[in-house]
Each structure stands twice: as structure tokens, then as C-alpha cells.
């Protein structure tokens, strides 16, 4: 268990102003991320490091106020051992609700419930995460924001006043920041999981974290997750997710290994088959060269992409194709 990981999770559907109408999926998104982050096959974070810092809106629009979110951040810092700057290994910040951006194209702000047509109270996600980064309070920081980024000129969104001095080890902190959409764009709530409306970004995020973004070793790294969210055939193309301060590549989790039956059929002159992971076309899977024409039953990881090469008896390539086990269970070469 990731005993010294923490998660601050905010989901806001209920706003008391026509300027910020009711949402349908932010609370469901926050609950889905909380479930993943506590799952032993997901983030594996203890419930005691998640539940006290999970803030969901209520029908009377009384919470969470901006002050409630800032207080949760301070409470996480208070978990530090006395006299130490470091609070833990990894911090997750997940924010879902209405969102705005000011003049900074690399910032996104979560709008909190007290906002109306005369006042916008909002939490700058990147600025808040960077406080923990500069103070080296965690070794890794993962910021995920499923919010619109509607432009509000001259928006003043102050970062929390956390007592965090800049630390000399800040350069060693690794970061992954993901915004659901580009500067000035909207984030959609079109995805449905069962009968539940969900944000498209969070729906794709959870699918990626539970195996869709896994590499051949079954690891979900930050760069693989980024590639998953940006894939050209995915549903997030119109939203154009952005990833500021996300050049570090590190393992988020190991996906639960689930293999499914695949049938690959070779037709003459193909007599040999090589299977490569979609993430590395230079290294074939440890299946070796599979000889002989005809149907070949294989067990391959679900929700993964593979590259198939068909060779003739002399080892010359005579066919190739992509196999996507999210949607395919057979292939012909």
C-alpha cells in the first residue's frame, strides 16, 4: 500500500447561480477517481489519506467553498512529521466542476460554489500544485482537472496561503499536470457509464488508468497516459487536453493483468508471425516467432495495442497490421 500518498479530490455539481448552471457529472467523476485512487489495483492509497480530503458539493450550495478546499490542502500539510518539509511520496489533486482561466494560458481554475454573476471564487490548479512542488512537500505531484477553461479577462485567482518555504530539493520533484481541455475551450459531460453522466475527460482518464494506457510491461506511466488521452481516434480530440509542467515520466501504477483470447490467421505466403507491443516496435513480445500458416490462438492483454508482422519462410515481411484489443479479437494477415 502507498501509505504516504495522499489525494485531495473535489467534485462540484451544485452551484447557486445561473452564471454557473448545475452540472451532472462532476460528483460522479470525483467518486470514480476516489474509488480508483483507493483501489489496491489502482492508486492503492489508504482511505485515511483520501476520504478526509474528498469534498463533494451538496444541494444547498453550502460547500465546498474556496476556503474549504484551501483548508484541505493545509490539513494534508499538517500530516508532515514535526520539523520536516516532506509530507509524503505522491500527492494527487483531482478537481472537477466549472472552470475558468485568466490571462495565463498555462493555468486552469476550479470555480467554487459561492461564485455568482458578480463574484468568481476559484482555485488555480497549477499554481496550487506548484506550491507543493516548490516546497518539495512530495516526491511526485499529479494534478488532474476536469473543468472548462472559459477565459475571464483580468481574473484574480490567488493560490492558497500555505506555509511552504521553497526547498532546495524542488528540482527533484516529478510532476504530471493534465487539463481536460485547451485554453478558452470547454470540457464536455457527454460520457455515460451505466446510467450515470460523466465527464469525457475523467471517463477516458479512468479507462486509461485501469489498463487502457498500460505498456507491454503492464505499467501505466505518465507519458503513456498522456498518449492515451491525446490519441487521434479518442473522444477528447475536440477538447484538446493540455499538459503543462508534465515532462517527467514516471510510473503511476501497474494495471491489473487481464488477458483475452485473440485469433490471428496467416494466409500464404505468410508462414511466421511476430507480435510487438504498440509502445515499442523494436522489441517483440516474448512469444518468439510463431511458425506455420493458418489460425493461431493467442492470449494477449486486454485494452492494449499491438503491431503484427507476417513473414514468409525466408523471414521476409509479407504483411503487417495493427491489433487493438480494446475492440478486436481477431486479425488476418
- Mean pLDDT along residues 134-152: 96
pLDDT surpassing 90 at residue 177: yes
Q: What is the distance between the alpha carbons of residues 37 and 50, in angstroms, rounded to a whole number?
A: 8
Q: What is the CATH number of the domain that holds 264?
A: 2.60.40
Q: Residue 115 falls within a domain, yes or no?
A: yes
Q: Residue 40 falls within a domain, yes or no?
A: yes
Is there a single domain that holds both residue 77 and residue 102? yes
Is there a single domain that holds both residue 216 and residue 311? no
Is there a single domain that holds both residue 21 and residue 163? yes
Is there a single domain that holds both residue 246 and residue 270? no
Is there a single domain that holds both residue 186 and residue 304? no
pLDDT surpassing 70 at residue 283: no
pLDDT surpassing 80 at residue 279: no
Is there a single domain that holds both residue 96 and residue 115? yes
Q: Residue 1 falls within a domain, yes or no?
A: no
> Which domain-ending residue is among 254, 287, 306?
254
pLDDT surpassing 90 at residue 75: yes
- Mean pLDDT along residues 162-187: 93
Is there a single domain that holds both residue 269 and residue 226? no
Q: Residue 223 falls within a domain, yes or no?
A: yes
Is 123:70 a contact under the CB 8 Å cutoff?
Answer: yes
Q: Residue 127 falls within a domain, yes or no?
A: yes
**pLDDT, tens digit, 9 for 90 and up, residues 85-117:** 999 999 999 999 999 999 999 999 999 999 999
Is there a single domain that holds both residue 69 and residue 29? yes
The label of the residue with cell 493461431 reads: 296
What is the pLDDT, as a whole number, of residue 89?
A: 97
What is the pLDDT, as a whole number, of residue 201?
A: 96
pLDDT surpassing 90 at residue 144: yes
Is there a single domain that holds both residue 206 and residue 304? no
Q: What is the CATH number of the domain that holds 106?
A: 3.40.50.1460
Q: What is the distance between the alpha carbons of residues 91 and 136, in angstroms, rounded to a whole number?
A: 11
Is 283:276 a contact under the CB 8 Å cutoff?
Answer: yes
What is the pLDDT, as a whole number, of residue 51?
A: 98
Is there a single domain that holds both residue 238 and residue 279? no
What is the pLDDT, as a whole number, of residue 34?
A: 97
Is there a single domain that holds both residue 175 and residue 247? yes
Q: Residue 72 falls within a domain, yes or no?
A: yes
Strands 109-111 and 99-101: antiparallel
Q: Is 44 left (phi over 0), alpha (psi -120 to 50) or beta?
A: left
> Which domain-ending residue is among 199, 232, 254?
254
Phi, psi of 232 (to 5 degrees): -60, -30
Is there a single domain that holds both residue 207 and residue 311? no
CB under 8 A, 24+ apart: contacts of 116-124 = 116/16, 116/17, 116/19, 116/20, 117/17, 117/18, 117/19, 120/152, 120/155, 120/157, 121/65, 121/66, 122/66, 122/155, 122/157, 123/66, 123/69, 123/70, 123/95, 123/157, 123/160, 124/157, 124/158, 124/159
Closest CA to 115 of 13, 17, 14: 17
> Which domain-ending residue is among 254, 288, 303?
254
- Mean pLDDT along residues 176-198: 87
What is the pLDDT, as a whole number, of residue 256?
A: 67
Domain count, the chain: 2
Share of the chain above pLDDT 90, in %: 59
What is the pLDDT, as a whole number, of residue 284?
A: 66
Is 129:142 a contact under the CB 8 Å cutoff?
Answer: no
Q: Residue 148 falls within a domain, yes or no?
A: yes
Is 54:12 a contact under the CB 8 Å cutoff?
Answer: no
Burial class from Cβ neighbours inside 10 Å (0-12, 13-18, 19+) for residue 284 reads middle
Q: Residue 25 falls within a domain, yes or no?
A: yes
Instruction: Note down the domain range covering 270.
Output: 259-332
Amino acid at each position: 500500500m502507498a501509505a504516504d500518498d495522499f489525494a485531495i479530490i473535489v467534485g462540484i455539481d451544485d452551484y447557486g447561480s445561473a452564471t454557473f448552471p448545475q452540472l451532472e457529472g462532476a460528483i460522479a467523476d470525483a467518486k470514480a477517481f476516489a474509488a480508483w485512487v483507493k483501489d489496491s489495483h489502482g492508486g492503492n492509497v489508504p482511505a485515511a489519506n483520501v476520504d478526509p480530503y474528498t469534498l463533494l458539493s451538496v444541494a444547498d450550495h453550502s460547500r465546498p467553498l474556496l476556503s474549504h478546499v484551501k483548508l484541505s490542502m493545509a490539513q494534508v500539510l499538517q500530516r508532515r512529521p514535526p520539523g520536516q518539509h516532506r509530507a509524503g511520496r505522491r500527492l494527487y489533486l483531482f478537481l472537477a466542476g466549472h472552470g475558468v482561466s485568466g490571462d495565463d494560458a498555462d493555468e486552469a481554475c476550479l470555480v467554487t460554489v459561492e461564485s455568482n454573476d458578480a463574484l468568481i471564487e476559484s482555485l488555480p490548479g497549477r499554481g496550487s500544485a506548484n506550491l507543493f512542488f516548490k516546497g518539495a512537500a512530495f516526491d511526485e505531484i499529479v494534478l488532474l482537472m476536469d473543468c472548462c477553461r472559459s477565459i475571464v479577462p483580468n481574473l484574480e485567482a490567488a493560490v492558497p496561503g500555505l506555509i511552504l518555504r521553497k526547498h532546495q530539493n524542488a528540482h527533484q520533484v516529478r510532476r504530471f499536470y493534465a487539463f481536460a481541455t485547451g485554453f478558452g475551450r470547454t470540457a464536455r459531460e457527454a460520457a455515460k457509464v451505466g446510467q450515470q453522466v460523466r465527464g469525457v475527460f475523467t471517463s477516458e482518464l479512468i479507462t486509461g488508468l485501469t489498463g487502457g494506457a498500460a505498456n507491454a510491461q503492464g505499467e501505466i506511466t505518465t507519458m503513456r497516459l498522456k498518449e492515451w488521452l491525446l490519441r487521434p481516434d479518442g473522444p477528447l480530440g475536440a477538447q484538446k487536453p493540455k499538459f503543462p509542467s508534465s515532462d517527467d515520466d514516471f510510473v503511476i501504477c501497474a494495471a491489473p493483468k487481464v488477458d483475452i483470447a485473440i485469433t490471428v490467421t496467416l494466409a500464404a505466403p505468410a508462414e511466421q508471425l511476430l507480435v510487438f507491443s504498440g509502445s515499442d516496435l523494436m522489441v517483440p513480445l516474448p512469444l518468439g516467432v510463431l511458425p506455420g500458416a493458418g489460425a493461431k490462438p493467442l492470449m494477449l492483454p486486454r485494452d492494449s495495442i499491438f503491431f503484427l508482422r507476417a513473414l514468409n519462410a525466408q523471414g521476409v515481411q509479407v504483411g503487417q497490421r495493427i491489433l487493438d484489443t480494446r475492440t478486436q479479437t481477431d486479425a488476418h494477415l
